Homo-oligomer: A and B are copies of this chain.
């Protein structure tokens, strides 16, 4: 960690925090990748590793498994169960991506065609179920009932959040409280479980487990808000090639919720038409972005993301100071840099 200053944003301008984290955890990450490859195999159904490899080897950042590894190592863990838990977390994540892409009818992810497009929805549903079962086997192998409890609860929160998003997404009454429930489900629950189980396996006391949970929770929420902002072109508000996916899918994300809360009657009628009724025409995305700008809804969402980043960094104060803690703090800064 030579040359890494305390100011995360300065340092990560040189080496991005996820890469710093990957360097610090290089051996563990290699073990995780080996375990993932071993456990995604299927003696009887070659379709399973085929679909899984497409997604898992497409260059995801392995952010969630790194959080589990970092939490355990930061607390001095010297065993090998953290590798199993990191693979568990990645399998759960991959399973939810497979199902999400079917539910959202997505065609592209990580720059490639989605599994549902390449192999069909049926394979995506069933391979997702298989990976979830495999994750379950892996965590049972650690023999920790506390770990199992945390991951079972996280799984239920994830699934509930997805159903909530399905039913609440196009309802203009969705407020920031419901938004936060959805975000905890779709994103933050797996982040907070990933950090907490790393602590559990390291035998951390309850106050440290709470700190790990809070860090993962706040980091996950910040990441989701940043994604929401980028979907409307980020702080530059320029329409890029990926701008407006959430708009077309009629998702009530934080910028839109803010703009709806401040909307005039006329503007509200616009939101009812394009989000609730899904009646969208040319020029509507531009009008939506103009409304977001008029109410500084992107700036509001950005402030919210920065607040969650600050909460994540604060939570780390209750954990031992070392290179990993410093890098996790930089990681929190890193995730909001794209909208700074």
Q: Which chain B residues lie closer than 8 Å to A134 at the CB level?
A: 156
Q: Tell me whether A28 is interfacial, beta carbon within 8 Å.
A: no
Per the 8 Å Cβ criterion, residues 33-85 of A in contact with B are 42, 44-48
Given contacts A125-B125, A145-B143, A148-B148, contact A133 B162 (CB under 8 A): no
Check B166 against A153 for contact (C-beta < 8 Å). no
Q: Tell me whether A102 is interfacial, beta carbon within 8 Å.
A: yes
Question: What 1/0 mask marks residues of chain A from 119 to 153 whose CB sits below 8 Å from any chain B CB?
Answer: 00111011101101110110010010100110011
Q: Tell me whether A99 is interfacial, beta carbon within 8 Å.
A: yes
Check B136 against A136 for contact (C-beta < 8 Å). yes
Check B167 against A129 for contact (C-beta < 8 Å). no
Given contacts A102-B125, A103-B122, A126-B99, contact A47 B152 (CB under 8 A): no
Chain A interfacial residues counted at CB < 8 A: 42
CB-nearest residue of chain B to A162: B126
Check A156 against B140 for contact (C-beta < 8 Å). no
CB-nearest residue of chain B to A99: B125
Check B125 against A45 for contact (C-beta < 8 Å). no
Q: Tell me whether A21 is interfacial, beta carbon within 8 Å.
A: no
Given contacts A125-B99, A140-B152, contact A163 B133 (CB under 8 A): no
CB distance from A98 to the nearest CB of B (A): 10
Q: Which chain B residues lie closer than 8 Å to A44 at the CB level?
A: 160, 164, 178, 181
Chain A interface main SS type: helix
Check B163 against A136 for contact (C-beta < 8 Å). no
Neighbour of A48 across the interface among B125, B133, B152, B163, CB < 8 A: B163
Given contacts A140-B149, A155-B133, contact A47 B167 (CB under 8 A): yes
Q: Which chain B residues lie closer than 8 Å to A145 at the CB level?
A: 140, 143, 145
Given contacts A143-B145, A156-B137, contact A164 B45 (CB under 8 A): yes
Number of copies: 2
Check B125 against A103 for contact (C-beta < 8 Å). yes
Complex Cα distance, B153 from A132, in Å, reads: 11
Check B159 against A148 for contact (C-beta < 8 Å). no
Check A123 against B166 for contact (C-beta < 8 Å). yes
Given contacts A123-B166, A181-B44, contact A159 B130 (CB under 8 A): yes
CB distance from A330 to the nearest CB of B (A): 33
Q: Which chain B residues lie closer than 8 Å to A132 at the CB level?
A: 129, 132, 155, 159
Check A45 against B126 for contact (C-beta < 8 Å). no
Per the 8 Å Cβ criterion, residues 173-210 of A in contact with B are 178, 181
Q: Can you list 26 A-B pairs, Cβ within 8 angstroms, ordered by A?
A: A42-B160, A44-B178, A45-B163, A45-B164, A46-B167, A47-B163, A99-B125, A99-B126, A102-B121, A103-B122, A125-B125, A126-B162, A126-B163, A130-B156, A130-B159, A132-B132, A132-B159, A133-B156, A133-B159, A136-B136, A136-B152, A137-B152, A137-B153, A140-B152, A143-B145, A148-B148
Using a CB–CB distance below 8 Å, which chain A residues touch chain B? 42, 44-48, 96, 99, 102-103, 121-123, 125-127, 129-130, 132-134, 136-137, 140, 143, 145, 148-149, 152-153, 155-156, 158-160, 162-164, 166-167, 178, 181
